[in-house]
Structure 1
Amino acid sequence: MHTSCYPQRGILLVDDEEAFLRSMSVALERQAGFSHLYRCQDSRQAMSMLATHPIGIVLLDLTMPYLSGEELLSQISAQHPDISVIIISGLNQLETAMDCIRSGAFDYYVKTTEERRLIDGIKRAVQMQQMQAENQALRQRVLSDTLEQPEVFAQVITQNKAMRAIFQYLESISTSLQPVLISGESGVGKEQIAQAIHTLSRSHGPLISVNVAGLDDNVFSDTLFGHRRGAFTGADTARSGMIEQATGGTLFLDEIGDLSPASQVKLLRLIQEGEYYPLGSDRPKRLRARIIAATHQDLEAKLASNDFRNDLYYRLKVHHVEVPPLRQRLDDLPLLLDYFLAEAAKELSKSTPTAPKELYALLSHYHWPGNIRELKALVYDAVSRHKARVLSMDVFRQVIHSESKTLDTSANASDRVYFPSEKPLPTVQEINQLLIDEAMTRAQGNQSLAARLIGLSQPALNKRLKKSAP
Structure 2
Amino acid sequence: MRNNLYPQFGILLIDDEESFLRSMSIALERRGGFNHIYRCQDSRKAMQVIADEPIGLVLLDLTMPHVSGEELLQAIASDYPDISVIILSGLNQLEVALNCIRLGAYDYFVKTTEEDRLIEGIRRAVRLQEMSFENRELRRRFLSDTLEQPEVFANIITQDKAMRSVFQYLESIAPSQQPVLIMGESGVGKEQIAHAIHTLSARSGPLVSVNVAGLDDNVFADTLFGHHRGAFTGADKARAGMIEQAAEGTLFLDEIGDLSQASQVKLLRLLQEGEYYPLGSDRPKRIRARIVVATHQNLEEKQLQGEFRKDLYYRLRIHQVEIPPLRKRKKDLGLLLDYFLSEAADELGKAKPTIPKELPVLLENYDFPGNVRELRAMAFDAMSQHRARILSMEAFRRVLTADHSPELLAEKGVAVRFNEEQPLPSLQEISDLLVEEAMRRAQGNQSLASRLIGISQPALSKRLKKLQGDEPL
**TM category, shorter:** over 0.9
Shift of 1:416: 5.3
Within a 5 Å distance, the mapping from 1:169-188 to structure 2 comes to: 169-188=169-188
| CA distance in 2 between partners of 1:205 and 1:365 (Å) | 44
Q: Which residue of 2 aligns with 1:343?
A: 343
Q: Which residue of 1 aligns with 2:156?
A: 156
| CA distance in 2 between partners of 1:25 and 1:422 (Å) | 71
- Partner SS state of residue 279, structure 1: coil
1:389-408, CA deviations, whole angstroms, 9 ceiling, x for partnerless residues? 11111111111211222324
- Partner SS state of residue 321, structure 2: strand
Distance 1:409 1:14, change over 3 A: closer
- Partner SS state of residue 209, structure 1: strand
Amino acid at match of 2:229: R
Q: Which residue of 1 aligns with 2:243?
A: 243
Within a 5 Å distance, the mapping from 1:424-443 to structure 2 comes to: 424-443=423-442
Which one is further off, 128-137 or 63-72? 63-72
Amino acid at match of 2:60: L
Matched, 1:410 2:420: no
| CA distance in 1 between partners of 2:386 and 2:317 (Å) | 45
Distance 1:31 1:448, change over 3 A: same
Q: Which residue of 1 aligns with 2:137?
A: 137
TM-score by length of 1: 0.96
- Partner SS state of residue 4, structure 2: coil
- Partner SS state of residue 139, structure 1: helix
Shift of 1:287: 0.6
| CA distance in 2 between partners of 1:419 and 1:113 (Å) | 66
| CA distance in 1 between partners of 2:81 and 2:275 (Å) | 33
Amino acid at match of 2:207: L
- Partner SS state of residue 85, structure 1: strand
Matched, 1:447 2:460: no
Q: Following TM superposition, where does structure 1 have runs of at least 4 consecutive aligned residues deviating by more than 6 angstroms?
A: none
Matched, 1:376 2:351: no
Within a 5 Å distance, the mapping from 1:357-376 to structure 2 comes to: 357-376=357-376
Distance 1:130 1:456, change over 3 A: same
1:2-26, CA deviations, whole angstroms, 9 ceiling, x for partnerless residues? 4421111111111111111111111
Shift of 1:235: 1.1
Shift of 1:425: 4.5
Shift of 1:418: 5.8
1:326-357, CA deviations, whole angstroms, 9 ceiling, x for partnerless residues? 11111111111111111111111111111211
Within a 5 Å distance, the mapping from 1:24-423 to structure 2 comes to: 24-405=24-405, 406-410=407-411, 419-420=418-419, 423=422
Distance 1:270 1:428, change over 3 A: closer
| CA distance in 1 between partners of 2:161 and 2:309 (Å) | 33
| CA distance in 2 between partners of 1:149 and 1:165 (Å) | 14
**Contact 2:174/2:197, CA 8 A, preserved across alignment:** yes
| CA distance in 2 between partners of 1:93 and 1:410 (Å) | 68
Distance 1:382 1:86, change over 3 A: same
Shift of 1:364: 1.2
Shift of 1:172: 0.7
Which one is further off, 113-122 or 329-338? 113-122
- Partner SS state of residue 70, structure 1: helix
- Structure 2, unmatched stretches of 5+, are none
Aligned residue pairs total: 468
- Partner SS state of residue 251, structure 1: strand
**Contact 2:182/2:293, CA 8 A, preserved across alignment:** yes
| CA distance in 2 between partners of 1:23 and 1:418 (Å) | 69
| CA distance in 2 between partners of 1:448 and 1:363 (Å) | 14
Shift of 1:152: 0.6
Q: Which residue of 2 aligns with 1:466?
A: 465
Q: Identity of paired residues, percent?
A: 70
| CA distance in 1 between partners of 2:356 and 2:423 (Å) | 42
1:429-448, CA deviations, whole angstroms, 9 ceiling, x for partnerless residues? 43332222111101011111
| CA distance in 2 between partners of 1:164 and 1:417 (Å) | 33
Distance 1:59 1:382, change over 3 A: same
Distance 1:106 1:352, change over 3 A: same
- Partner SS state of residue 204, structure 1: coil
Shift of 1:148: 0.6
| CA distance in 2 between partners of 1:275 and 1:334 (Å) | 47
| CA distance in 2 between partners of 1:465 and 1:111 (Å) | 84
| CA distance in 1 between partners of 2:417 and 2:133 (Å) | 51
1:184-216, CA deviations, whole angstroms, 9 ceiling, x for partnerless residues? 110000001111111100111110000000001
| CA distance in 2 between partners of 1:177 and 1:392 (Å) | 49
**Contact 2:3/2:203, CA 8 A, preserved across alignment:** no
1:221-240, CA deviations, whole angstroms, 9 ceiling, x for partnerless residues? 11000011111111111100
Amino acid at match of 1:430: E
TM-score by length of 2: 0.96
Amino acid at match of 1:256: I
| CA distance in 2 between partners of 1:444 and 1:111 (Å) | 72
1:34-88, CA deviations, whole angstroms, 9 ceiling, x for partnerless residues? 1011111121221221122111111111111121111221222222222111111
| CA distance in 1 between partners of 2:248 and 2:425 (Å) | 67
Amino acid at match of 2:408: L
| CA distance in 1 between partners of 2:402 and 2:458 (Å) | 25
**Contact 2:255/2:294, CA 8 A, preserved across alignment:** yes
| CA distance in 1 between partners of 2:409 and 2:2 (Å) | 62
Shift of 1:421: 5.7
Shift of 1:411: 6.8
- Partner SS state of residue 213, structure 1: coil
